[in-house]
């Protein structure tokens, strides 16, 4: 019984030692090597991008908005029609506009007449001459009348001859008084302040007539530019208010894309930044372009704070439909000839960055300094050299000193 117990004790002590030795032999003497995925540290280029969407629009387009309340009486075009600048697109109720134009013309005429009277100094000088002649005529007629009165009493002339002299005197006197009244009226209107006021009234009347004419013209809803009708006027009978959209005209031969970009990404692009476009309507097709303008201020759209970017579109492929949505990929940064490792190779521990480098067939945890990154790669600025191998295998839990070999 004692012999059996001693044998068991020996087995109990020896067997674990054999197992431990076997594991050690396999790990350190080549008995077991873990096959892992690795990547080579390389020099290359890093491109940072972000995605958003935008709307295709003409480079040159104009919106027509109502300048006054009115009712749509007729629509003269449909979407897609080609129109020339000035061509009527619709007809609005113009009764009030016509009445305003008529009144403005009348006011302008009266103002111009009044202003002409205040500045007609030449007429006053002419009247003075006419008045002098009229006084002489009236004085002569009065002398003749006194003479004929004496002759009538002496029965030297007839009653009809005396009445002719009396009528001539009356006519000469009336003419003189009329001229003097006209002169006095014009002289009173030659006040400098009155002249300025009259000129101001004429300018106001002309402006009123211009506004009335413009309003009457707007009842035709003229096309501001030549192009295609992108949005047609509202249907007849529609009541419109100031600011309502009446129509939109654009040149569809020259297109661009307008995009609203979230604040963090907006600050990473500039005029000239490249952009790639894709449309669900053209599977597999892409268009290239560049940022041509950026908004000076950010705006709030819903819950987003965004900036506005306008992008050019090349013409190498099929034309994108106006007002269609497109997916945009902006290139925000490009770095050339930098040291790169895969994103999955970098570990974060305690706020520091590490990789498992492969040296002498073993894994060694190595601290690195990283910089810019994209979805695939990370820039390494310190800790590694080009050509080194690093662990790039998410399926294998790494250990310091573990013997590994690259998986083929």
Same domain, 116 and 169: yes
Question: Which pLDDT does position 3 carry in this prediction?
Answer: 41
Please state the domain count of the chain: 3
Inform me whether the pLDDT recorded for 312 exceeds 90: yes
Are 207 and 111 contacting, i.e. CB atoms less than 8 angstroms apart?
A: no
- CATH number, residue 303: 2.40.30.170
Inform me whether the pLDDT recorded for 183 exceeds 80: no
Question: Which pLDDT does position 109 carry in this prediction?
Answer: 80
Where is average pLDDT lowest: 150-159, 178-187, 227-236, 378-387? 178-187
Same domain, 255 and 188: no
> Which of 99-108, 207-216, 239-248 shows the highest mean pLDDT?
239-248
Question: Which pLDDT does position 203 carry in this prediction?
Answer: 85
- CATH number, residue 82: 2.40.50.100
Same domain, 263 and 227: no
| Domain presence at residue 345 | no
Per-residue CA distances from 359 to 23, 263, 367, 392 (Å): 22, 44, 14, 14
Inform me whether the pLDDT recorded for 379 exceeds 50: yes
Range of the domain at 311: 50-59+251-334
Inform me whether the pLDDT recorded for 385 exceeds 50: yes
Question: Which pLDDT does position 122 carry in this prediction?
Answer: 56
| Domain presence at residue 392 | no
- Average pLDDT on 396-408 reads 88
Same domain, 266 and 280: yes
Q: What is the mean pLDDT of the chain?
A: 85
pLDDT confidence tier of residue 320, bands split at 50, 70 and 90: confident
- Average pLDDT on 193-213 reads 79
Closest CA to 309 of 251, 262, 249: 262
The string of pLDDT tens digits covering residues 101-139 is 888 888 888 777 766 666 655 566 777 888 889 888 888
Are 176 and 139 contacting, i.e. CB atoms less than 8 angstroms apart?
A: no
Inform me whether the pLDDT recorded for 81 exceeds 80: yes
Angle at 313 between CA 309 and CA 315, to 5 degrees: 170
pLDDT confidence tier of residue 342, bands split at 50, 70 and 90: very high
Helix axes 95-118, 192-218, angle to 10 degrees: 160
| Domain presence at residue 17 | no
Among 287, 317, 334, residue at a domain's last position: 334
| Domain presence at residue 365 | no
pLDDT confidence tier of residue 23, bands split at 50, 70 and 90: very low
- Average pLDDT on 10-15 reads 55
pLDDT confidence tier of residue 2, bands split at 50, 70 and 90: very low
Name the CA dihedral angle for 93, 96, 98, 103, rounded to a multiple of 10 degrees.
180
| Domain presence at residue 314 | yes
Question: Which pLDDT does position 307 carry in this prediction?
Answer: 93
Same domain, 200 and 133: yes
Same domain, 179 and 193: yes
Rounded-to-integer distance, Cα 394 and Cα 378, Å: 16
- Average pLDDT on 49-54 reads 92
| Per-position b or e across 28-38, b if 16+ CB within 10 A of its CB | eeeeeebebbb
- The pair phi, psi for residue 407, each rounded to 5°, is -75, 130
Same domain, 152 and 198: yes
Same domain, 298 and 233: no
For 245, residues 6+ apart whose C-beta sits below 8 A from its C-beta are 63, 64, 65, 231
Question: Which pLDDT does position 92 carry in this prediction?
Answer: 93
Rounded-to-integer distance, Cα 197 and Cα 214, Å: 26
Question: Which pLDDT does position 192 carry in this prediction?
Answer: 63
Among 157, 190, 210, residue at a domain's last position: 210
| Domain presence at residue 278 | yes
Question: Which pLDDT does position 25 carry in this prediction?
Answer: 46
| Domain presence at residue 54 | yes
Same domain, 127 and 196: yes
Inform me whether the pLDDT recorded for 1 exceeds 70: no
| Domain presence at residue 347 | no
For 408, residues 6+ apart whose C-beta sits below 8 A from its C-beta are none
Same domain, 150 and 206: yes
Question: Which pLDDT does position 246 carry in this prediction?
Answer: 95
Rounded-to-integer distance, Cα 75 and Cα 235, Å: 7
Same domain, 135 and 203: yes
Inform me whether the pLDDT recorded for 61 exceeds 60: yes
Phi-psi sector, 79: left (phi>0), alpha (psi -120 to 50), beta: beta
Question: Which pLDDT does position 367 carry in this prediction?
Answer: 95
pLDDT confidence tier of residue 408, bands split at 50, 70 and 90: low
Rounded-to-integer distance, Cα 77 and Cα 6, Å: 110
Higher-confidence residue: 160 or 315?
160
Same domain, 314 and 266: yes
Are 131 and 187 contacting, i.e. CB atoms less than 8 angstroms apart?
A: no
Among 305, 334, 363, residue at a domain's last position: 334
The string of pLDDT tens digits covering residues 253-297 is 889 999 999 988 998 899 999 999 999 888 888 999 999 999 999
């Amino acid at each position: 019984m004692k012999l059996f117990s001693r044998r068991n004790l020996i087995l109990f002590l020896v067997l674990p030692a054999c197992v431990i030795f076997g594991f050690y032999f396999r790990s350190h003497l080549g008995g077991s090597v873990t096959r892992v995925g690795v990547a080579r540290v390389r020099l290359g280029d890093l491109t940072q991008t972000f995605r958003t969407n935008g709307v295709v629009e003409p480079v040159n387009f104009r919106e027509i908005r109502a300048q006054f309340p009115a009712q749509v009486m007729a629509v003269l075009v449909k979407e897609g029609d080609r129109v020339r600048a000035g061509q009527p697109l619709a007809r609005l109720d113009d009764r009030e506009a016509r009445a305003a134009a008529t009144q403005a013309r009348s006011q302008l005429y009266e103002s111009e007449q009044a202003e002409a009277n205040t500045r007609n100094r030449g007429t006053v000088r002419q009247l003075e001459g006419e008045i002098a002649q009229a006084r002489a005529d009236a004085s002569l007629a009065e002398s003749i009348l006194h003479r004929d009165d004496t002759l009538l009493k002496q029965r030297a002339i007839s009653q009809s001859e005396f009445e002719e002299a009396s009528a001539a005197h009356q006519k000469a006197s009336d003419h003189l008084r009329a001229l003097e009244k006209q002169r006095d009226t014009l002289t009173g209107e030659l006040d400098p302040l009155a002249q300025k006021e009259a000129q101001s009234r004429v300018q106001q009347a002309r402006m009123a007539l211009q506004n009335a004419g413009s309003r009457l013209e707007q009842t035709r809803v003229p096309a501001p530019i030549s192009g295609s009708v992108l949005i047609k006027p509202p249907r007849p009978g529609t009541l419109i208010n100031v600011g309502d959209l009446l129509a939109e005209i654009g040149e569809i031969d020259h297109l661009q894309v307008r995009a609203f970009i979230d604040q963090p990404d907006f600050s990473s692009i500039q005029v000239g930044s490249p952009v790639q476009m894709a449309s669900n309507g053209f599977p597999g097709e892409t268009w290239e372009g560049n940022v041509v303008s950026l908004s000076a201020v950010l705006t709030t759209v819903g819950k987003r704070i965004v900036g506005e970017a306008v992008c050019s579109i090349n013409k190498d492929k099929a034309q994108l439909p106006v007002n269609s949505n497109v997916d945009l990929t902006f290139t925000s940064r490009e770095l050339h000839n930098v040291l790169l490792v895969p994103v999955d190779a970098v570990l974060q521990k305690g706020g520091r960055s590490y990789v498992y480098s492969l040296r002498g067939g073993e894994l060694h945890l190595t601290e690195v300094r990283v910089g810019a990154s994209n979805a695939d790669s990370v820039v390494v600025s310190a800790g590694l050299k080009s050509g080194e191998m690093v662990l790039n295998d998410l399926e294998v839990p790494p250990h310091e000193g573990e013997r590994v070999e690259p998986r083929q």
